[in-house]
Structure 1
Amino acid sequence: MSDAAPRLKSLVEQLLGAPLSVRVRAWDGSQAGPPGAPTLVVRNRRAVRRLLWKPGELGLARAWVAGDLDIEGDLYAALGMLAGFVWERGEDARSLAQALRDPEVRAAVRGLLVLAGSPLPPAPPREEVRRPRRRLHTKHSDKRAISHHYDVGNDFYELVLGPSMVYSCAYWPAPESDGGTLETAQRDKLELVSRKLALKPGLRLLDVGCGWGSMAIHAAREHGASVVGITLSHEQAAYARKRVADEGLTDRVEIRVQDYRDVTDGPYDAISSIGMAEHVGSQRYLEYAENLLQLLKPGGRLLNHQIARRPQRDESTYDIDEFIDAYVFPDGELAPIGTTVTQLERAGFEVRDVESIREHYALTLRRWVANLEADWPRAVQLTSPGRARVWRLYMAASALAFERNRIGVNQVLAVKTPESGRSGLPLRSRTWN
């Protein structure tokens, strides 16, 4: 009798106390759920074991990365239907011990154990990062974390990011529309940063977390700046150096493999930090801000472009995102924008402007997902089936998180204001000259 799908759907709904809006197809060919809805494909019993041994987001992620779970139909719609069980229920969910006091929950778990088969927990997919968490954000641990994420292969990043090779939020002409190309929107973002920093010939720019060199090249080529770009990724640095040479900019752009804590050749006129500060960590953030302040001339500007999470009533209970930490950005931490502004000002910066561009990141991520899906066989060839699945899930889920205001992204313009109090910024904001 082929009845795994209706049994599985019924037991999960009993466990969660809410209906599943997706359709379910199980390993025995059975199906259950609304016709025409996106389909959650449960390929084997191991997927159920993963969810039982690690309930919640990480169990789902392990099953997805291993290929035990899949989605047919609209990926975004399916993730939107499943998101409530991860997001809305995760913040105030009862502990497992409390939940198991409910007879219905116990009955559902027993039913799922029967469906799952062998009680042994499956090994995590090999793409999962497994390391001690005793000392975070040392120079060694940060370099290892950056290597995990960025040394996937430059060819893979070219496939996902496109010719711009910019791995941060683009700046679209109209967030509510789907017009414009990714390359144009990324160029506009680099130009926005350049104008906020008032770059011009002869100024020294430090680009912290320079990636594949796009900001450094733009600043030198379009504004005549002298640029030092730093990264912890050897693959990124090699790629960026070649791009710089191809552009004929070796006299104005230097790319280093260097930790921001080891930069000693200031002062700089301006610093850009685009999508890097998420790796710093809350315990190191003040040190990060103080280091950058010391590297700036009086009157120098910092443009800090950073993803932010929503604040909680009790910040001491904040937990990291298990999937992101295990598969995407090991040791990465997000902070509320208010915390970031406070830390920058504690370090001695004067924060002059905060621009939220949350919707722009959702548009950017959807373009990256489209690039990945359009050349899926090659993406798998360049990495692995599991790693490609990590990226597809991470980027699609992140797009929804930005769209639903679960997370945001902000550009913070801060100044090392001299004792005279003259910041050097225009009286009318957002003219950036």
Structure 2
Amino acid sequence: MPMNSPAPPPSPISESQAEDLIHGICFKTGPPRLLGAELEWLVLDAERPGRPPSPERLHAAHAAARALPLNSRVTVEPGGQLELSSAPATSLSGCVDGLQADLTAVRAALLAQGLVLEGNGRDPRLPHRRLLASPRYDAMEAYLDRTGPAGRTMMRASASVQVCVDAGYEEPGALGHGRRWRLAHLLGAVLVAAFANSAVSEGPYAGWRCARQGNWADIDSRRSLAPPLDVPPRDGWTRHALDTEVMCVRSYDGEPWTIPQGLTFRDWLRTGGDPAYPGLRPPTAEDLDYHLTTLFPPVRPRGHLELRMIDAQPGDDGWLVPVAVVHALFDDPEASETAYRVTKALADTYGSAPAPRNPLWRSAARRGLSDPELRAAAKACFRAASEALPRLGASAHVRETVGAFTERFVLRGRCPADDPPRLQSAGAGKEAGR
């Protein structure tokens, strides 16, 4: 090919090719051995935490964090939330130590600019503004606006601790990876309740301990839901992904991205050039990969399992509690068996509606551990995790931090949202009076 010839456009894919790609990339087989975490943080003014920093200060803070020699990857969410994604680690100590070192460096760089990090599942500072302008976020916001304001709040004002665990072996039987996949969903409501940290006093989620979960449940009729769990995970997730609406079709010529109405990815595969969608080109493998990044279920298969239902946690070390507890409940056989048995018995009483709209998940988000059934399940799971951590080589600091959280919250039927709010919005009264 001549040196100056343009690259050929990506080749379209067929429906069967799309199914094969999802089957192959979303569940990696093998022994569970890796652990990772993604920590999202609000960025506050150290002296006036109730007032959002200016966009210029936030951009400078993000640039300072990106310039550091970190093991973690630094990214920025649309509202200016800063995210650290750990490198995959072969042990809990490797994951925690790496993130702690990187957080120390990031906090020092931000403090030099008069800024600090805050772990809170939902930003109470008003108004919520979008910091990032890009074709992706312009299209995402326009798409999510069709179903109401929850999408904007999710993009601009939410923060989480996402824990990533291996999918595990391709187990014998019809469900394949079913054990760890199912455990992640069974355990989800308990994790929502125990780590709820996004209480609000106004709006549609007033009084909820985990308003962030309410936002996720309300952003789309399908995009944030779990797929059916009574089918093999690969098949269930493949159908779910292809039968979810396309959020947007990317443009490569500088034009705004297309935001089709009611077009699933399967529709797009079957009708790529349909006149009903002017200018719609056939989908490629890159489009499919992008589509998968716009799906927001509580557990997302990305080769590994990404648990997305946990609020950002308060304090310098609060984040390590969900990381340690999830690791113990997935990767210690005895603790895993306890968690599966306890959470399955609880979930069986609430029917098969998908998370996060299942009544058990709604109760977890509304009531936290004041729900007696969730409290009992959380006590059993945290006890099993605490017993497993020494077997997994957890440091004394990790064990003590998990123990302190268990004593302060779980054993007392409380969650971080039950503490007095640490962050108040300087503009909250003004906004509420509009």
Same fold per TM (> 0.5)?
Answer: no
Larger radius of gyration: 1
The answer to which structure has the higher strand fraction is: 1
TM-score by length of 2: 0.24
TM-score by length of 1: 0.24
